[in-house]
Amino acid sequence: MCESRTLWWDDGLWLIDQNKLPGELVPIRMKNVRQLIEAIKTLRVRGAPALGSAGAYGIALAAQLSHAANAFDMIQELEMAADMIKSSRPTAVNLSWGVERALRAATSQETVEDIRECALREAEEIAEEDIRINKALGKNGAKLLEDGDNVLTHCNAGRLACVAWGTALGVIRSAISAGKQIHVYACETRPLHQGSRLTAWELARDGIPVTLICESMSGSLMRKGRIDKAIVGADRITKDVVFNKIGTYNHAVLAKYHKIPFYVAAPLSSFDLRHEEQDITVEERDPEEICALAGVRLAPEGIDVYNPAFDATPLELVTGLITEKGIFRPPLMPPV
Ligand code: MRU
C-alpha cells in the first residue's frame, strides 16, 4: 500500500477515504466502478486533479473486471462506464479529461488483454504525471512567495486533492522547501469543511504553520494587514472565469479591494478554454449538507436551501494563473 498518495493501484484501485479524515487515515479498495462512483459523489475522493486520476483508474478498473469475450464488447462496456463516471460530478473538468484519456488509450487496442493493459498503463501515467506537474507548478509558484508571507487558501487544493503534493498547497510546500517561512490561513470551507478536515490536517501533519479560520473572517484579516497573498486551486478554468469551491469569489473580491495578490494554481488539465462560464454546469448538492452539522440538525425542517458546490471568479480578479508551464497573467492564457 502507498499511503503517501491519495489514490494508487495495487492489484486494484485504492484510495484514502477522505470522509474519515482527520480522525482516521483509512485506505479503501474499490470493488467495482459503482463503488468508485459512490466514492466520487460522496467526496471520499475529491479535488480536480485527484478526480482526473480516479476517472482514468475507473476505466482501468472497468477493463479489469470485464468478462467481455472480445475487444468490441469490452470497448462498449468501457464507454458505458466512462459515461457513468463522467456524470458523477459535472464541474471539475479533470474528471472527464482523465476518463477520456484512459478510454482513448484503451480503444486504440485490438485484444481484451491489450485493452486491460493499456487502460491501466495510461491511468498510471496520468497519476505519475500529476505528481511531476504539481512539483513543476509548485516550483513556478514558489517564486511569488516571500519569506514570512501569510497566505490565505480556501477548500483543499493540497495533496489530498491530487495524487500527491498539491496545487495551491504544492506552491506553499515548494516555497517552504526553498527555505522560506510561510504561514497559512486555511478557511474551514462550509458546508463540507474541506479546509478544517483536510487542509488543516495535511499542513499540520507536514509541520507547516497553519491557522484555521471561517471564510467569513478573510475580509477582516485582510483589512488588518494579516494576509499577504491568496492562493486557491481550480476545478475548471474557462475563457472568462475560474470555477472553484463556493466562497472563492468572495475572497477574490475582497483581495482586489485590499490590493492583495490573488493567485490560482492549476495544471493545464484544469483549463477548458473552448467554453465560457454560461456553458458549465455547477453541481448543486444535497440540502442536508447545510441543514445539519456532523449529523446534528440545525435548520428548521422543510426550509428552502440553495447549495451550489462551486462559484465562478472572473479572470479580471485573478493576479496570476500558476501552471506547470509558468505563470500567466490574465488576459494572457497558457497555450492548451
Ligand atoms: O468539492 P471538492 O472538495 O471536490 O472541491 C475541491 C475544490 O474546489 C478544489 O479547490 C479544486 O478541486 C482544486 S484541487 C487542486
Name the one residue in this structure whose C-alpha cell is 490590493. Answer: 259
Q: Is residue 336 part of a domain?
A: no
Q: Express each pLDDT in 219-257 by its tens digit.
A: 999 999 999 999 999 999 999 999 999 999 999 999 999
pLDDT at 44 over 80: yes
Q: How far is the CA of 79 from the centre of ligand 1 (A)?
A: 26
Per-residue confidence (pLDDT) for residue 2, from 0 to 100: 57
Ligand 1 pocket residues where CB is under 6 Å: 43, 46-49, 92, 155, 157, 161-162, 167, 194, 233-235, 244-245, 309
Per-residue confidence (pLDDT) for residue 71, from 0 to 100: 98
Rounded to 5°, angle at Cα 210 from 178 and 151: 60
**Mutual angle of helices 48-65 and 112-142, in 10-degree steps:** 170
Q: Please compute the mean of the pLDDT values over residues 172-190 and round it to a whole number.
A: 98
| Domain closes at, from 97, 114, 135 | 135
Q: Is the pTM for the entire model greater than 0.85?
A: yes
Positions annotated as catalytic residues are 235
Q: Is residue 172 part of a domain?
A: yes
Domain match, 131 and 153 both: no
| Domain closes at, from 73, 103, 135 | 135
Q: What is the position in ligand 1's atom list of the atom closest to the CA of 232?
A: 10
Which of 152, 199, 245 best tests ligand 1's pocket when mutated (most atoms within 8 Å of CB)?
Answer: 245
Give SS3 for 264: strand
Domain match, 128 and 175 both: no
Which domain does 190 fall in, by range?
140-328
Give SS3 for 168: helix
Domain match, 102 and 201 both: no
| Domain closes at, from 104, 135, 166 | 135
Q: Express each pLDDT in 298-327 by its tens digit.
A: 999 999 999 999 999 999 999 999 999 999
**Mutual angle of helices 112-142 and 93-107, in 10-degree steps:** 140
Q: What is the position in ligand 1's atom list of the atom closest to the CA of 158?
A: 15
Q: Is residue 1 part of a domain?
A: no
Domain match, 115 and 50 both: yes
Domain match, 280 and 207 both: yes
Per-residue confidence (pLDDT) for residue 336, from 0 to 100: 83
Cα separation of 320 and 15, whole Å?
Answer: 32
Q: How far is the CA of 199 from the centre of ligand 1 (A)?
A: 11
Domain match, 124 and 218 both: no
Task: Assess contact for 160 and 197: CB atoms under 8 A.
Answer: no
Q: How far is the CA of 110 from the centre of ligand 1 (A)?
A: 37
Domain match, 177 and 229 both: yes
262: domain CATH number? Answer: 3.40.50.10470
Per-residue confidence (pLDDT) for residue 3, from 0 to 100: 54
- Domains of the chain: total: 2
Cα separation of 227 and 151, whole Å?
Answer: 6
